[in-house]
Each structure stands twice: as structure tokens, then as C-alpha cells.
A and B are shown apart, each in its own frame.
Chain A
Amino acid sequence: MPDKTRLLAQIENAAECITPFWPLKTFIATNPLSGFEHMPFEDAIEKGSALFGGNGLPTRAMGQKAMEDGKIDPVILKNILEEAAGKDEAVHLYNEMTSGLIENQKGSSTKLSKLNALMIKYLAAFLDEGQSGWQMPGREQGFYKAWKNLVKKDDQISNKALLETLPDNALDTLFSLLENVDDKNRENFLERHLAALPGWSGFVKWRARQHDYPWQKQYPVSLTDYLAVRLSMVNMISDDGLSTSMTKTDKEGLYWLKAWEETYRTQLSDQLKQTWNNDAPPSRPEAQFVFCIDVRSEVFRRNLEKTGHYDTYGFAGFFGVALRHTEFGEDIAADSCPVLLSPQFESTDQPCCGHEDKAQQHLYGKKTAKGFKNTLQKLKQDIAAPFATVEATGALFGLGMAARTFSPSSLKKISRSFKTLLIPNVDLEPTTSKTNDSALGLSLSERIFHAEAALKIMGLTKNFAPFVFLTGHGSETENNPYAAGLDCGACGGNHGGPNARLMAAVFNDPAVREGLIKRGITIPEDTLFIGALHNTTTDEVVILDRRDIPEKITKDLQVARKSANLERCKQFSTKHSPQTRASDWAEVRPEWGLARNAAFIIGPRSMTQSIDLEGRTFLHSYDHESDSDGKALQIIMTAPMVVAEWINTQYYFSSVDNAVYGSGSKTTHNVVGKIGVMQGNASDLMTGLPLQSVMHADGQLYHEPLRLMTIVKAPLSRVSKLIAENDILQTLFDNGWVALTVIDPESGKFMRYQGHKVWHDIDDKQTSGADIPIVKKNDKELEPA
């Protein structure tokens, strides 16, 4: 038995190579190479190439196009080549890189092997979450046993003699199948089998850990099951399904990447050198708006700030409360918090006082609509009924399809009006259920704790405006399996509205305000917090709490919406309005999402307010003066920045190799089991972003594949100490997954982190020169304070 527990650990270790994959409805951005983040970036992409066959660097064609578009400075590229290869060789390299293309320099695709096709068949059937009309039998016994029962009847497998000898327990089976594999080679062996279909095994890895997930509770699956089934079938059909294809990585891609990054980073640093010390006007603003750190917020914030004396802040869009939220009249709850956290509170909506009758109508309408949908679904999946259904209702649905195609916006308006008739809108307020000693369900000390933490982390501790809007965000899109990918990453792929409303109610609580005064934060009596929601597709801001809001603010939000719309429309090649994009069922690109993200700026808004950051930066508000112990900065760098790195790497890898690390073109996507998409009728689960999310067209990048650069305005000693104390920061910075520049407020110096405790002043070199990791003589090494 100790050998079997040893095997459990070997499976756990082997599974580190695959990234957990969340189901589509809570699409979470992840780094496809997250298992190799403990390695230097260059080594990780080599490993990714060996295991998955992916290309982890920009190709020559991408580099040349970027240079043609002015996104790579030739001088910077030349400097990088000189530093790396010497002056003479650099000239040769430069000429080679900038003339002519390399043929077929992209990820290779391989034909699906028989074993992988079989695995996909069984996994798709077992993991189905309500899409199929005919369920796999015996799923409640778990994946291994369900497979074992069913495979007996599988005509695709002729040799079933092995089945008789297999134990009933997956771990025992796997143990016996691995008897001939030497102990020291086991992890590598298992790693290769898990990496053969990283999407499917990634989904199993995710689901196996979700003990409260209804599908997992009912139909359990584990990686031990997965491997036991796979290795059993390897023996039965004599095919190991392992591909030997490997994309060659070379230094050239790295040179392109560094030059591309350096061009952007130099420009941004140069801009910030002019503005980093700007102060916010001391007068009281008309209103303050707290937005999510998401790069899309920056465009709206900049346009809103132009309309009046408004201060805007950036904070993780879950506003510090990790919720499991159930919408009014729904059965299924969603975790509205970053996946780094477990939900701490369960919340739901309840009708506001005086809306009880309307709430009943709302529930009744919702139930009727659900019943109608279910009946239609059953009729569609029945053996005989579809013929009669189509006869009776086909014309009506045909008209609907025509309207959705030719006039999506009008149809949406009509269906909205119809929906409101059937399910009347009702005023709701959020409530949590962890404790019952207050109106909000959170105990007073919890409410004060969350309020204080949120304000201190974003540096909003004084000069409160009469109105403070906590603005969550969500997208609006039709017929889009990737809809959750456009929603709030800090809310686990959900809309951030419930969190915004709940925290607004916490801040408005007189007892909380009294508690905050004792902690040194005084919120004036006339300050009102209001929950709101920013629609990132249409830039509409909806006020969620029914309050009297000055007309000027409502109008200014409209003005900001129009100018943000105009700005975003320039990025599309077609002239559809954002409203049409949001309602068109054939729209493959309702918005650009977080494409082109490249930097994460931690500091007060005053340091960036005068710069057009082009929606490329995550902005987290931070005031180093009100965080003397560095706790707030620690939270920002160990959580929001980590999530930003996941997003950034997902966009990066989906761009450099869309076939392997992305999910290919949407036009050939098939949704499977309601959990993910496959290309065609059988493929690995496609875990990255679709081609349409990162490219204008095949081969024409929209997203610029650059690794994230974090810029922090804080004392250098504080940041240095944080890196020394948090190994997650060492992993990301020392291995080159995220670059770091600290703007030290005392000296005014821009200090670039070179990794492993080495810093260097970016002004200690030619301004146009490259900053590749070479330690200069005047670098100083800082010991943790």
C-alpha cells in the first residue's frame, strides 16, 4: 500500500504539466504552460514544445509585420542582437530576420490517433453536463467503472481479453498496468499520457477538485480514473496515442519578442517619466467611480474623466468579497470571486420592501419560461417528436432566424419587451446568509474588515465625493460559447454586479462607518455608495441601486459611453455599432475583450490620467503613503497581478500558436457536453482563446504577444522586501514571466528588476538601448529590509 500512495503522488506530480481547464460557463483565463512557471520562460516554452508540440514565440512573419507597423523599433532589435551575438554576427542576423520568410513556421497539426479518438468518445460521454439527449449508463459509479462496463460492447476494440483481468478499482488497475514501468520513469510516462490530450485531462484535473460541484458529486471522475482507462486501452489496441511532433524553438523568436516588448515598454516608461509625480486636484470631486482593474475599464475611465470632475479608481472587480451568488429565482449559484479564493459568503437577491407582489409575478414568469424551454428541448431530443414539432412551429422559428440575422438589434428590443411582460422587472437587494445577526448577513466585524481592506488597498481613505459608484463589469453577447471569457475575471467569469451592490450596502451601513472612524477612515455623512455595472461590449453603465442620482452624472455617463464607443469602433474592420455586435447571433467578435493587454500599473490614477493607455493596461489604484507596512501592496501583487498574468499569458500563447495553445477558428467549433469546444466532431478540448479573439484574420494579429510588465509606484525597499517574502513573486519575476519596474517616489528613479535581487536604473543607459538581462556595473543589490 505505501507503493500505491507513492503512485498517487507521482500522478499529482505528473499532472503539474497540465493546466486545469474550467468549464465554458466560468471560462477562466489560464497560462497553458502554468505547470512550468517554476522554470525560466525560455525553458518552459521548450518544454511546452516537447510535450504539446506548440510554438511559444512570435514567428518571423509576426515580427516583420510588427516592425512594418512600427511596433518594433529596428534600433532596439539591432541592440538586442548585438548584446546577444556580437556586432558582426548581429548585422548578419538582422538582415536574415528582416528579409524573407520561413516557410510553414507554425504549429503542426497531427491526425487523431485511434487511442485519442477512443478517449475523446468516452470522456465526452461521461463528462456531459446536460447537452446530450442520451446519457452514458452507469456514470454514478465513476469514470473508470462506467467505462469498464461499457467498453465490453465497444466494436472499435477487438481484443477485450484484458478486461477480465482488470481490478474494479482504478488505482489498483493503474498500479498493475505500471508494473513494467520503472519507478523513476513513471512520472515522465504519466506526464506524456496526460499531455496527449491536455484539454480533456485539464478538465478532469479541474473537476476532480470540485467536491461541491453538482456534476462531480453525482458522476465522480479523477486523474487516476483517466489514466487507468487510457493505459488499459493502450494495452487493448496496442496504440499509445503519443505524438512525437515537436516544433523547433530558436533564438530568433526570442529576439523578436524582446525587441517588441522593449519598444512598448520604453514608450510607456518615457510617458510615465513625465507624469508619475502628478498630483490629483485637492478639491472634492463630484463623484468617484471604482472600476475593475480590467484593461477595458481604462478606455471608459479616460472618457468619463473628461466629462467632469470625477475621480476614478481601479480595484479587483469582486470588491474584496468572495461570494457564491444565486440570482433571484435561480437554483444554481455561481462563485463570484477570483479562482485563487474560495467563496466566503453565500448571497442571493431578495425583493425590496414593497416589491413582494411583483417578485411573485417575476418568479411565476421565470418558471413558465423555463418550462417552455424544457418542453422544447425535450421535443427536439425525442425520437419521433421533432418531425411534428418542425411541422407545427418551423415557420415561426424560421421567421425568428431571419429576424436574428437581418435585424438583430430590433429583434433584441422586441424580445426584451416581451420578456419584461412575462417576467416583470423587480427591485432586488443583495443579502448574504453566512450569519443572521444583521440586515446584510455579514457580521459587523466582517463588514468593517472588508470595508477597511477595500479602501486601504485602493488608497481611497480621504476626500470622499458625495457619490461613490462601485462599478462591476460584464459583457453582452449572443450565441457565444466564450461569453464568460468576456465577463469579469476577478469574479470567476461572472458579472460583478452582485459584489458591487453588496459592498455598496456595506459602505452605507452607519455601524460600518462608525467602525471605520476608529480605524482612521472618516466617510462623510453625505457620501452615498452605489452599485453599478459596466457593460464592456456597449460601454453602458447601469446603476443597479435605485437612488436619486444627479442628472449631470447620468448624462456624463452617456457622453463617456459615446466617446468610448467611437474609440472602440476604430479597432474593428466592420462598421457595426456596439449594440449590433452585442445582439447579433452570428457575431464572432462582439468585442476585443482584453486583447493587446501588456502592462499592469499599480499606483494613483493621477500618474496615468493624462496618458492615453489605449486600453492596454490593467490599472490598480494604490497609495504608497497610506500603506506603510506594505500589506496592501502585498495583496495587489499576490492576487490581482497573478490573475493579470494568467490573462496575459493566455492571450500571449493563443496568439503565437493559436492551433495548439488557442482554440482555432470559431467557424469550426463544436460545443461538447456544455463544458468546452472541440474542433470538428472530435478533438482535444480547446482550452485557449479562439482565433477571432486575438486576430483580425488568419495570420493577422490584433493582440500583440508581449509578456506583462508591472509598474509599481512605491518605495524600492518595500517592493524588494515583498519579493523576498513571497515566492510566487520570485517565480513570476525571476523566471521572466512578468517584468517589473518600480518608480521609487523618494529618488524619482525608475528601477527595472533584473531578477534574483538585482535592480538597475533604466536611465543609466542609452534611452533607445535595449534592456536585456545584463547586469551593469552600477547595479545595486538590495537585501530585504
Chain B
Amino acid sequence: MSVVFHDIQKIEIIVKGEKLDFVQNLMQQAGAQGHTVIRDISGMGDHGFHEGRLLFNDQSSLIMLVAVAKPDVIEKIAAGLVPLFEKNSGVMFVSDAKVARLEKFL
């Protein structure tokens, strides 16, 4: 039996740990049904290489949030991130994705 996939959009957001609360609230206000948090991200950016794991400091290490939702919800989230990134470091990626159980994300 083949799996039926449904179109949906995905947003991936990388911010400092101290902005976790804001982004979670933003996603909730925009209507996203859930999200995944990946902690202690490392990588290269505008400001050089960012170290991932800071043992005694959750606030300064980078985190990544991933959510899938309908395009209008993703747009609301993105609208809230644009001003944030004017003052704070961070990036977001929006892409098309597919999910098997669409009702979980609406």
C-alpha cells in the first residue's frame, strides 16, 4: 500500500537560546500546532563559527526550531521574525514539505 503525502510548508529557525520563549510564543500565536526544538547547534555564519555546546550557559548557545504548517501560518511566523532578525542574529528557512498525516498539523 503506497503512502499518500500531502503538501505543507516547513519553517526552520535558528536563534540564540535566549529567544526560545519568544519564538515559541510567536508560533503559538500564529497557529502552529507544534514544533521541534534542537539544542546546541553549531555552524558558520556572518559572525564566524558559532560553538554549539556551552555546558553552563543555555542562553547563549544556538537552538533550532522546526515547524510545519499551512502557508498562511508560516507567513505569520515569518512576519514576526523579520523585525527580530533586524536586531538579533538568527536565520529562517521556508520550504515545501510533505506529510502523511495532514490533520496533525492543521
Contacts and interface: CB of A to CB of B under 8 A. Distances in A.
Answer yes or no: are A and B bound together in one complex: yes
A642 B30 CA distance: 34
Given A4-B29, A724-B49, A725-B48, A340 B79 contact: no
A727 B47 contact: yes
Interface string B23-61: 001100110000000000000000111110011111110
Most chain A CB within a 10 A radius of its CB, from B21, B47, B55? B55
A8 B29 contact: yes
A16 B87 contact: yes
A760 B76 CA distance: 50
Contact of B56 (A3, A8, A638, A784): A638
A704 to B, nearest CB: 28
A10 interface: yes
Contacts, number: 94
Contact of A9 (B26, B50, B51, B54): B26
A341 B56 contact: yes
Nearest to B47: A727
A638 B62 CA distance: 13
A784 B21 CA distance: 33
B75 interface: yes
Contacts of A727: 47-48, 50, 60, 89
Contact of B58 (A2, A341, A453, A724): A341
A5 B87 contact: no
Contacts of A320: 55-56
Interface string A178-197: 00000000010000000000
B82 A9 contact: yes
Interface bin, chain A? 35 or more
Interface in A324-357: 338, 340-342
Contacts of A171: 29
Given A3-B79, A724-B49, A316 B84 contact: no
Nearest to A186: B83
A9 B87 CA distance: 10
B77 A338 contact: no
A683 B75 CA distance: 42
B51 A634 contact: yes
B48 A12 contact: no
B9 to A, nearest CB: 14
Contacts of A3: 79
Nearest to B59: A340
Nearest to A339: B59
A12 B22 contact: yes
Contacts of B56: 316, 320, 338, 340-341, 635, 638-640
B25 A8 contact: yes
A13 B87 contact: yes
Interface string A745-764: 00000000000000000000
A409 interface: no
Interface in B69-92: 75-84, 86-89
A730 B47 contact: yes
Given A6-B79, A340-B59, A638-B57, A13 B51 contact: no
A635 B81 contact: no
A209 interface: yes
Contacts of B47: 727, 730
Given A10-B83, A13-B86, A16-B87, A639 B55 contact: yes
Most chain A CB within a 10 A radius of its CB, from B54, B76, B86? B54
A725 B61 CA distance: 11
Contacts of A12: 19, 22, 84
A726 B16 CA distance: 12
A392 interface: no
14 contacts: A1-B30, A5-B29, A5-B77, A8-B22, A8-B25, A9-B83, A12-B22, A12-B84, A338-B56, A340-B56, A340-B58, A453-B55, A642-B60, A727-B47
Interface of A: 1-6, 8-10, 12-13, 16, 171, 187, 209, 316, 320, 338, 340-342, 453, 634-635, 638-640, 642, 724-728, 730, 784
Interface of B: 19, 21-22, 25-26, 29-30, 47-51, 54-60, 75-84, 86-89
Given A13-B83, A341-B56, 7 more contacts: A6-B82, A6-B83, A8-B26, A9-B82, A187-B83, A635-B56, A784-B48
